[in-house]
């Protein structure tokens, strides 16, 4: 096994909600064998407070995350790029060393309206969808690693 973990870059347009939910979840279930980062094509400059809140509910702290531009990773080897919204998929460049690309679009919870509780319900639903998808992805990658080690 190589000394460094392969980097998975999760891209979204604003890098304020979905990509941070996915980064936090994937890091929690696969951080032992994957380097997980996120960025945006047009970063919002902040991580949405409701994204932080719904992640705390599942004991994942993303309060230290920052909104970053995808160009920050342009000179770094990125093994896999996963886009979680349509616009990022269209804007996505090829990164050095990139071998895989996945596009798994999720609804943007930042557009939720209503009371805070109604907005939180949307954030929780999207978090749970992202959790199912990225946990399955991590399980597949873990199985792949076990097969390679045999």
In whole angstroms, how far apart are CA 58 and each of 24, 25, 54, 116?
10, 9, 7, 18
Say which of 25, 62, 70, 92 is annotated catalytic: 92
Helix axes 49-56, 18-30, angle to 10 degrees: 30
Active site (annotated) includes residue 12: yes
Say which of 8, 9, 12, 60 is annotated catalytic: 12
Active site (annotated) includes residue 85: yes
Q: Strand (E) positions, the chain?
A: 7-12, 35-40, 80-83, 100-103
Say which of 50, 82, 84, 85 is annotated catalytic: 85
Please list the active-site residues: 12, 85, 92
């Amino acid at each position: 096994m190589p000394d460094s973990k392969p980097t998975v870059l999760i891209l979204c347009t604003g890098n304020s909600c979905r990509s941070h939910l996915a980064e936090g979840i994937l890091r929690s279930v696969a951080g032992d064998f994957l380097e997980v980062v996120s960025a945006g094509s047009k970063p919002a400059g902040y991580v949405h407070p409701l994204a932080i809140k719904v992640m705390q509910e599942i004991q994942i702290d993303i309060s230290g995350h920052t909104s970053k531009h995808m160009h920050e990773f342009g000179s770094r080897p990125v093994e896999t790029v996963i886009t979680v919204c349509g616009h990022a998929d269209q804007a996505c460049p090829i990164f050095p060393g990139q071998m895989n690309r996945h596009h798994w679009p999720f609804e943007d919870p930042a557009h939720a309206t209503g009371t805070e509780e109604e907005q939180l319900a949307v954030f929780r639903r999207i978090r749970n969808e992202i959790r199912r998808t990225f946990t399955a992805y991590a399980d597949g990658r873990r199985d792949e690693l076990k097969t390679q080690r045999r």
